[in-house]
Amino acid sequence: MNIIRHIPNTLTCLNLISGMAGIYFVLEGHIYYGAYFILLAAFFDFFDGFAARMLKVSSDIGKELDSLADLVTFGVLPAFIIFKMMMDINNESYLPFITFLIGVFSAIRLAKFNVDTRQTERFIGLPTPANALLLSALPFTALHVEWVADLLINNYFLAGLSVVMSLLLVAEIPLIALKFKNFGVKDNIYRYLVLLISIVSVLWLGLGGIPLVIISYVGLSLIENAILKNTQG
């Protein structure tokens, strides 16, 4: 029984190790490895919570450990991916340090999530794993889409992207809940659209399709929110 109760925290530590390994490889110049380690960490991040619920061994320590691991993997690692990309373009500029905002706002996002009781059904603001996946997968998108490749060699674009994504982490934007209460099309149209776009994007671009998935998810959430406001108003 003592071993079983440590399984969720062990998975969380594997998430943290994945983040640290990703940072190492990114700083060594292997930015594509960053996305691989973020995907691996996302796997561990999903199953640590799943294991805690299944084994009924949830704890306050586990919750805090999860946030600390997420900060490294989904906050610091993507910040260093964009930082390294910008330094490779111009290592004599201070502009790349603006990417550190990604780590700072990820910390704020995670702290808010831990105390915000509104986020049991829907996320408010972009979750840190989604932000990390978008940023880390951009180099893969550039392999398939020429205009994206052109943008990724522009430090001003990358700086602006860092600021925008940092703000989205803490934005008061309710995002689509992907939990299905029923499977009717009318009640789940936006969920089905997210799933459809996800399947098409990944089949089309592989890992490079992930940014399109995240952007569509946020865009559809904004549309849903606007329609709900008009309906309720």
Q: How far is CA 61 from CA 12, 48, 57, in A?
A: 11, 13, 11
Residue 206 is predicted with a pLDDT of 95
Question: How far apart are the C-alpha atoms of 43 and 205, rounded to whole Å?
Answer: 21
Write down the domain spans for the chain.
4-175
Residue 2 has a pLDDT of: 73
pLDDT value, residue 113: 87
In angstroms, the Cα distances linking 194 to 98, 102, 110, 122 are 31, 25, 24, 15
CB 57 within 8 A of CB 5: yes
pLDDT at 180: 66
pLDDT at 48: 87
- CATH architecture of the domain covering 4-175: Up-down Bundle (1.20)
- Using 70 as the pLDDT threshold, list the residues of the chain that sit under it: 1, 120-121, 179-181, 233
Q: State pLDDT tens for residues 125-137.
A: 999 999 999 999 9
Question: Using an 8 Å Cβ cutoff, are 30 and 83 in contact?
Answer: no
Q: Hey, how many other C-beta atoms are within 10 angstroms of the C-beta on 51?
A: 20
149-169: pLDDT as tens digits: 999 999 999 999 999 999 999
26-35 burial, b for 16+ CB within 10 Å, e for fewer?
beeeebebbb
Q: What is the pLDDT of residue 227?
A: 87
Q: What is the pTM of this model?
A: 0.92
Count other Cβ atoms within 10 Å, centred on residue 147. 8
What is the pLDDT, as a whole number, of residue 127? 93
How many CB atoms within 10 Å of residue 37? Answer: 24
3-state secondary structure labels for all residues of the chain: CCCHHHHHHHHHHHHHHHHHHHHHHHHCCCHHHHHHHHHHHHHHHHHHHHHHHHHCCCCHHHHHHHHHHHHHHHHHHHHHHHHHHHHHHCCCCCHHHHHHHHHHHHHHHHHHHHHCHHHHCCCECCCHHHHHHHHHHHHHHHCCCHHHHHHCCCHHHHHHHHHHHHHHHHCCCECCCCCCCCCCHHHHHHHHHHHHHHHHHHHHHHHHHHHHHHHHHHHHHHHHHHHHHHHHC
- How is residue 188 written in tokens? 């789940």
Q: How much is the pLDDT for 233?
A: 60
Residue type, position 130, single letter: A
